[in-house]
Structure 1
Amino acid sequence: MIETATARRRVGDWAGACAALFALHPVESRRVPTMAVDRHWRCYVSPAFVDATPVEELAGAWVHEVSHLLRDHHGRSDRVARERGVNGPGERLRMNIAADCEINDDIYGDGLPRPEDVVLPGTLGLHSGELMEDYLRQFRLGPYTRGMVWLDCGSGADGLERAWDLGPDGAHGLSEQERDAVRFRVAQGITARPGNAPKGWRRWAEEAFHPPQPWRELLGAALRSAVSGSGAGDDYSYGRPARRSAGVPGAVLPSLRRTPPRVSVVIDTSGSVSDAELGSALLEVAAISRAVGGRRDMVSVVSCDAAAGQVRRLCRAEGIPLTGGGGTDLRTGFAKALASRPRPDVVVVLTDGQTPWPGTRPPCRTVVGLFPRAQASWDEDDPDHIPDTPPDWARVVTIGAAPGAR
């Protein structure tokens, strides 16, 4: 494997790649057409392919294979297979092609020679710079992909195990923690020298350091935590006497019963909130209704910009009028929600955060869903103005950050 070691040195200056290349363990295999990787960071290499390929092209193939692992193409392919119900060899080949389109436009052309048969987005008539999942929606296997049936980057590219894989218990595999450590080290190298890395890799490195939050799960967890706390939705009932009544002859004591919590959702409808974000807010209202057991009568909605609208009980999320479009002062929304009777157990606020907040903690739990903003809003009358951040007594979740991939 002297040529492979030379290929490692050949790409050692490529931003951050060296740590990943040296973490990849080569395995000689005559069953592999060219090179292939598994999810445990082994690279299976055909001796015949190495003999027939110039070292410069081996360098590109080496970076290509390790890129599949860095970008978690096997994990992402498995998720696509589960979500779309596709798992045959043909679909996995399509995933391999889409994964190649994602990485090849980033790794070739910067000192790495491009092989003649390399798969690029332009080969399929697609735009460069997109993700594997995007490419999968834009092409199908057909006559124009017939020349790609030889493509096989292994289970590390499409998630489907191969006959040559050594598996999780085989020699020289990396544990999940070791794989994450390699990814972090590569991302660190890229961010330290961003000028040397292609744009796609800089984007990947940024997300490796700051992975997007699964905001829907976080918002749901915050709501469940708020409604399950003591006092939320609790009330005494004589419908089923307390067991301790037996110890008090002649008296019937009520038992503490759990009832669905009342939730009031305050939606920011100011001019700084887009129509798409308002649509997202309505989706969250429907999800909140499901979180409280489907009791729509327990969920109310208040639209608010500088002034609060009416408190409306939930019938259908899409039927809620969201009026506004002016400035922002959600304090009026809080006041309107808390003044409603019966009073809510939980207040959920969906906003971009560019608002004054109540000066005191409301008498119920509060969850804030924040629409992301790249920077603070600029006020023409007060250029130094920075909107207040949500107060410490609120549980804050950033909305709209989908789990990253690239």
Structure 2
Amino acid sequence: MSAYTPGTLDRDKLFAARLHAVRVRPYLASALFALYVVESRRVPTMGVDRYWRCYVSPAFVDRTPVEDLAGVWVHEVSHLLRDHHSRSDRFARRHGLIDPAERLRMNIAADCEINDDIFGAGLARPDGAVTPESLGLPDGELMEDYLRQFRLGPHTQDIAWLDCGSGADGSHREWELGPDHANGLSKQERDAVRFRVAQGIIGRPGDTPEGWKRWAEEVFHPPQPWRNLLGAAIRSAVCSAGAGEDYRYGRPARRSAGVPGVVLASLRRTPPRVAVLIDTSGSVSDTELGSALLEMAAIVRAVGGRRDLVTVVSCDAAARIVHPLCRAEGIPLLGGGGTDLRTGITKALRTQPGPDALVILTDGQTPWPTRRPPCRTVVGLFRRQCTTSWRESDPDYTPDPPPAWARVVDIG
């Protein structure tokens, strides 16, 4: 072992702590060894930037036991694996946060997300580690959730020193090297590290904390923003050219001035109307029916909050009564039999005034019309674990996919 000189970084001690972290958290090994160490006397303790450089204070390493340093290693690499820098940037843009103090609040919230379950089982909790319990917050939530639940104040004064670097809150520090300097990981390399860690967790979950299991599942199967997709598809349908447009005499066309004695109708846009067809056949679960009702929120937002512009039809093999959404709490979802949504589509299109967009929420086990409806059509398809379906008389039955003229959104 090389001799240690006070004032210089004791790399032997630092790397011994990393090795201890790998022994007790083997699924983080590839991430821990991917960090590039940068000695810095300007960083308070240890911090990371978004390019996977780890800045280390020699004085901090000198005064901190190896077991505690192992916990700091795991804490800092957790910020990078959970993409806290990008998530903080998105949160700041969405809420218009430009005050530097807000970045401290994001660092604290990110620490709460990490520290509620990573310590113990051979990994010591470093002194001063911020936990949700210390702020009176519940465990097991995400950084964004914690940001909505607390503000800076007297109860956070003792942690004002906290600085895990831009890797925790997205704000560049003066002591960081920046994107153009060497020894940083590219985006592809960072994604590869995350994938390897997630692969290790899913392959051998063991006693991995629930927070890490949830993270690994999302890395392998990133959640599709289907609510946003559904809302966007409906907005596109109701705002498209021709939707809700008709010629009316309520306000004469300006061209009438050029035709004396003749009143010309003008093209006016009326609020778009949406018909929602809900599949209530026996193959649709109660959970999916409940999800269908919840999706009404995205539909209502797409028409500017006007629930009176939305009508609902429940259908299995026969269409039920059309209900206005303004009485959503009283809409009966009747059915339970076989599936043929063609009757429901016909009934929905016959409502007066006719819909400008048709939304169909179904599991897809239905025959589809051969002709395209006269309005834009969006199909919300309940996602299933398997790609094949069933029919009592034919176990090998596979339903036809929605037709090409419909915009399809998978509902998780």
In the superposition, the TM-score normalised over structure 1's length comes to 0.76
1:153 aligns with 2:164: yes
Q: How does 1:215-364 map to 2 (within 5 A)?
A: 215-220=226-231, 222=233, 264-268=275-279, 272=286, 277=291, 280-289=294-303, 301-306=311-316, 307-311=318-322, 318=326, 322-327=331-336, 329=339, 331=341, 332-339=343-350, 347-351=358-362, 353=363, 356-364=365-373
1:175 aligns with 2:186: yes
* 1:123 corresponding residue in structure 2: 134
* 1:246 corresponding residue in structure 2: none
1:397 aligns with 2:409: yes
Is there any run of 5+ residues in structure 2 with no aligned partner, and where? Answer: 1-10, 247-252, 254-266
State the alpha-carbon separation in 2 of the partners of residues 30 and 322 from structure 1: 66
State the alpha-carbon separation in 2 of the partners of residues 209 and 108 from structure 1: 24
Identity of aligned residues (%): 58
Q: How does 1:36-185 map to 2 (within 5 A)?
A: 36-185=47-196
- Superposed displacement of residue 359, structure 1: 5.0
State the alpha-carbon separation in 1 of the partners of residues 13 and 118 from structure 2: 20
- Superposed displacement of residue 224, structure 1: 7.4
State the alpha-carbon separation in 1 of the partners of residues 136 and 396 from structure 2: 46
Letter in 1 for 2:410: T
- Superposed displacement of residue 228, structure 1: 10
- Aligned equivalent of 1:7, options 7, 13, 17: 17
What's the RMSD between the two structures over aligned residues? 4.0
Per-residue CA deviations over 1:296-347 (Å, capped at 9, x if unaligned) read: 99x76332144534557x8xx6466734355364623223124558976753
Total equivalences in the alignment = 372
State the alpha-carbon separation in 1 of the partners of residues 71 and 399 from structure 2: 47
Q: 1:15 to 1:357 in 2, by over 3 A?
A: farther
Q: 1:121 to 1:392 in 2, by over 3 A?
A: same
State the alpha-carbon separation in 2 of the partners of residues 386 and 75 from structure 1: 46
Structure number with the bigger relative contact order (C-alpha 8 A, sep ≥ 6) is 1
- Superposed displacement of residue 10, structure 1: 1.4
State the alpha-carbon separation in 1 of the partners of residues 191 and 208 from structure 2: 20
Per-residue CA deviations over 1:243-280 (Å, capped at 9, x if unaligned) read: xxxxxxxxxxxxxx9x9998643245788268964553
Contact 1:187 1:209 in 2 (8 A): yes
Question: What SS does the aligned partner of 2:47 have?
Answer: strand
State the alpha-carbon separation in 2 of the partners of residues 272 and 75 from structure 1: 37
Q: 1:198 to 1:296 in 2, by over 3 A?
A: closer
State the alpha-carbon separation in 2 of the partners of residues 230 and 79 from structure 1: 32
Contact 1:349 1:368 in 2 (8 A): yes
Q: 1:264 to 1:276 in 2, by over 3 A?
A: closer
Is there any run of 5+ residues in structure 1 with no aligned partner, and where? Answer: 240-256, 402-406
- Aligned equivalent of 1:191, options 202, 205, 221: 202
State the alpha-carbon separation in 2 of the partners of residues 268 and 107 from structure 1: 44
* 1:18 corresponding residue in structure 2: 29
Letter in 1 for 2:162: L
Letter in 1 for 2:31: A
State the alpha-carbon separation in 2 of the partners of residues 387 and 224 from structure 1: 34
